Amino acid sequence: ARVIRFEDVVVRYPRAARPAVDHVTFDVAPGAITALAGPNGSGKSSLVGALLRLHGGVTGRIAIEGIPLGTLDRRAFARRVAVVTQRESLVFSLPVREYIALGRYPHEGAWRAASAADEAAVGRAVELAAVEPFVGRTTSELSGGEWQRVRIARALAQGGTALVLDEPTTFLDIAHEMAMFELFSRLARDGMAVLLVSHQLNLVARFADRMVLLHQGRVAAVGTPSDVMQASVLEPVYDWPLVITRDPAVGAPSLLPLRGRSR
């Protein structure tokens, strides 16, 4: 089973010497966290942009629940897939609860009032993302970490079968970062397809069911964290000497970069 499928996807930017994404194929399955990892510039966010139809120069096939992406209008897409992009800034300030409730828009008619189901979805999202303490504020009154959690809450209110998160724990301290990863893990266990874009390999290795490692726009490795987190795989991709140890808490592979390399 798959919820999102990327098949032979190529993303080209005007005047770029090589494609940002170069013939990439992988699936995002329900009930699991699929982590898209790789160094800066490896094509991770470009794939999210292709999913959101932000780029013109995209070839290959992207399908949602077997339906070609190009045949879904934006609201039909949003009813199935909630996306938290890497960056977002509001032009004007909104009450936090109102901002989270924007996640319900794809499910509503143009003039329909919020239903009990919408209210319940917003309430559940507020609880899951642990944003109750500042739900009475406006978005301009939030710290970077609070704003990030509110954005995740909006995606949770949106619902659907898939959640796509591009570097979702930027600005979060350790406790909130761990809480968010635990939340993504819980959502996956409850049946959601989670695509998590992150450069934090050690964190990803503890939580992901499957990793897709990108290097210069191509898939360098795909498999379980143990398959991908090997020095022979990672050293050529990151161009840095490293060793792989074991996380003492859960036994997941853990990357340790070595010191003392002269560039």
Q: For 166-213, write each residue's pLDDT tens digit.
A: 999 988 999 999 999 999 999 999 999 999 999 899 999 999 999 999
- What's the average model confidence in pLDDT over 51-56? 92
- What's the average model confidence in pLDDT over 69-87? 94
Percent of the chain past pLDDT 90, that is, above it, reads 84
Q: What's the predicted TM-score (pTM) here?
A: 0.94
- 106 pLDDT higher than 90: no
pLDDT level of residue 87 (50, 70, 90 thresholds): confident
Q: How high is the pLDDT of residue 261?
A: 63
Give the tens place of pLDDT for each residue, 217-258.
999 999 999 999 999 999 999 999 999 999 888 889 999 999
- 162 pLDDT higher than 90: yes
Q: How high is the pLDDT of residue 1?
A: 72
- What's the average model confidence in pLDDT over 67-89? 93
- 262 pLDDT higher than 60: no
SS (H, E, C) the chain: CCCEEEEEEEECCCCCCCCCEEEEEEEECCCEEEEEECCCCCCHHHHHHHHCCCCCCEEEEEEECCEEHHHCCHHHHHHHEEEECCCCCCCCCCEHHHHHHHHHHHHCCCCCCCCHHHHHHHHHHHHHCCCHHHCCCEHHHCCHHHHHHHHHHHHHHHCCCEEEEECCCCCCCHHHHHHHHHHHHHHHHCCCEEEEECCCHHHHHHHCCEEEEEECCEEEEEECHHHHCCHHHHHHHHCCCEEEEECCCCCCEEEEECCCCCC
- 164 pLDDT higher than 70: yes
- What's the average model confidence in pLDDT over 39-46? 94
Q: What angle do CA 129, 65, 88 make, to 5 degrees?
A: 40
Q: How high is the pLDDT of residue 101?
A: 94
**Which residues make Cβ contacts (< 8 Å) with residue 227, sequence separation at least 6?**
211, 221
| Averaged pLDDT of the chain | 93
Q: How high is the pLDDT of residue 59?
A: 96
